[in-house]
Structure 1
């Protein structure tokens, strides 16, 4: 059980106990976060980033850690999220293994990792934890909340549960509820982990680790993060060189197989399996419709903000663009000046992490209007 915390990350102690939506509570919980830029005297230029499942709080290089972050092309001086103008806060999701309290963290009552004793985690719990960081920094109202993927869900929960917390919102490849296809994929990912004998009911360690299950879960994820168009253009049917072919008669033969294997192996030891299970399931449970009598559009219309932008990639199969269109329509029904942009990126759900030529101008253009 290992936590992977970037250098320079800061921590905010949550109220203790910190109750969870579905029952249970954390004692001595914390949220990891990083900041960029300067908060102005009016405290009116703060922008919060809430992330997808796997990223840490290190979205970009900063004074505490000059290493490039996972969104380095988007956050920084003169970049689309311009830290010469904005005071940017990025939080690591509650339940993660990147500094915020999660199943890999030590339970103060025993000193051992929580593992499956961690309370049932919801998106709403992560939203409330992020607000605790914002308040601790002395920010009464955010200029904007930016949420990517799972973070798009977290941002919507945050805005609904904390009216007036922000003036505007950018939802990037997010959704107001989990779709059946996405639930099915995540269910298979969790099953792959749980069926690995080394998972052992969550009681694994570094020497006995469910590597095969995590590899399969990650491969399934990567397949859905990208699009068939990109797979065709990037790999085609190109085979591996003879010295790269696996000796197994059913082993790796095509370059696309080798890519998935390499990607999976780089991931498995840098994300805790139990944390993966908890965060994955929290997305399946999320549904704004439960706050409006089963009507997701009515749930979105309950959110009160001034302006919003919902953007996504037209090739995204995991969080398809009709979900971002729904977000814009629902927020508009609630009185927001809301815009939807579907971008013709070939890179699917992961486009916001790599296709900066398309996503950068859209984000910059919206922020320039604030």
Structure 2
């Protein structure tokens, strides 16, 4: 398997919103399709907390991307029409500079000396990568989940940098429930003795903390309706149960365990902590004198599509309505789509049929 990943060196120093700066930093990105001569057909995707820039397969890397069924020739995000760019978030360990990267000043990994990370920094890093490709205005900026908040930051910091916007399962600010969950996820990691104030290594990796953090995430990414439909109260076969006191007894426990196992070693725990906190900190109101409406009013767009799902407990539908209303009040043509997918927050990754119809329809207009 080849590597389609490319790297954009960020300006050095790269100043961070909450103080500090990075030297010699970079972000990873991938592209699909061809940029037209006017450089007017670019579509940028900003991701959720854990995905890489590999949103869909390509010749260099034929493995499935995290949004495989959504992006490609003739798909909803049509790569025969758009030049599609997906940037890996600054602070993520999927190729971009992050707490696991080497600090050029010390020759050691940053770990907890990495500057405090905000989604504004993620947005500015992505904007720098897009500008380096010679693109002044994106045809469309797509943001999913955490990436939807990064996208709002991108457009508030760089008004007029996108003609259209697709906001997917996101929010103008983190709500107390989402902050509470992410706080617990971070606590689980920090309480793992192997985390050791960020000084872990492969032999002493905070496996339990990362596992609990992932399980909490998976529980909130789906809906109670889906858990009931998939698992009800089905118990594990006796031979599949653990022999220990209070061991797993129900299928849903074993499902979460499998999810956690697949995740733990694929993500750097410190990067997870930094990105999780950046999500909690984000508030578009900081760009509008304390008002979400004024923050959204800084965004200069022609059209927007705002999609949410009624079963999302992490980024509830009323938060997407707030984005749609706020943009509409500034004269943007807004289409608001509320889906009833049972999959909760993860629906955009699972209910491809309904999301494709909305996104493909909007882009085709």
TM-score range, shorter chain: over 0.9
Matched, 1:59 2:55: yes
CA contact 1:304–1:335 (8 Å) conserved in 2: no
Q: Is the 8 A contact 2:119 2:282 kept in 1?
A: yes
Write out per-residue CA displacement over residues 334-366 of structure 1, whole angstroms, 9 at most, x where no aligned residue.
Answer: 110012111010000000011101111000011
Match of 1:303 in 2: 299
Normalised by the length of structure 1, the TM-score is 0.97
Equivalent residues in 2 for 1:1-370 (5 A)? 7-369=3-365
Deviation per CA, 1:83-119: give whole Å up to 9, x if none.
Answer: 0100000000000000000001111112211100000
Note the C-alpha offset of 1:6: 8.4
Contact 1:196–1:210 under 8 Å retained in 2:
yes
For 1:196-227, what per-residue CA distance to the aligned partner results, in whole angstroms no more than 9, with x for missing partners? 11000000000001000000000000000000
Structure 1 segments of 4+ aligned residues over 6 angstroms from their partners: none
Is the contact between residue 178 and residue 287 of structure 1 (CA under 8 Å) also seen in structure 2?
Answer: yes
Q: 1:301 touches 1:332 (CA, 8 Å); kept in 2?
A: no
Retained in 1: the 8 A contact 2:160–2:299? no
Is contact 2:56-2:66 (8 Å) kept? yes
| Structure 1 gap ranges (5+) | none
Cα root mean square deviation, aligned: 1.0
Query: The residue matched to 1:143 in structure 2 has which SS?
Result: strand
- 1:55-80 per-position Cα deviation (integer Å, ceiling 9, x unaligned): 00000001221111000000000100
CA displacement, residues 171-194 of structure 1 (integer Å, 9 cap, x when unaligned): 000111010100000000000000
Question: Which 5+ residue runs of structure 2 have no aligned equivalent?
Answer: none
Q: Secondary structure at the match of 1:84?
A: coil
Q: Tell me how far 1:291 sits from its aligned partner.
A: 1.8
Paired residue secondary structure (1:147): strand
SS of the residue corresponding to residue 138 of structure 2 reads coil
Shift of 1:367: 0.4
Structure 1 distance, partners of 2:151, 2:59, is 27
Q: Within 2, Cα distance between the matches of 1:293 and 1:50?
A: 25
CA contact (8 A) 1:226 1:347 kept: yes
Map Cα deviations across residues 284-330 of structure 1 (whole Å, 9 max, x no partner).
11101122221111211221100001101110000011111110100
CA 1:40/1:296 → structure 2, altered by over 3 Å: closer, same or farther? same
Determine helix, strand or coil for the equivalent of 2:336: strand
Distance of 2:117 and 2:110 partners within structure 1: 13
Task: Provide the rounded CA distance (Å) in 2 between the counterparts of 1:129 and 1:6.
Answer: 25
Shift of 1:241: 1.2
TM-score by length of 2: 0.99
Tell me, in whole angstroms, the C-alpha distance in 1 between the residues paired with 2:54 and 2:183.
Answer: 28
Residues 14-73 of structure 1: CA deviation (Å, up to 9, x unaligned)? 000100000000000000000000011111100000000000000000122111100000
| Secondary structure in structure 2 of the residue aligned to 1:185 | helix
Distance 1:63 1:140 in 2: 27
Cα 1:295–1:6 shift into 2, 3 Å: farther
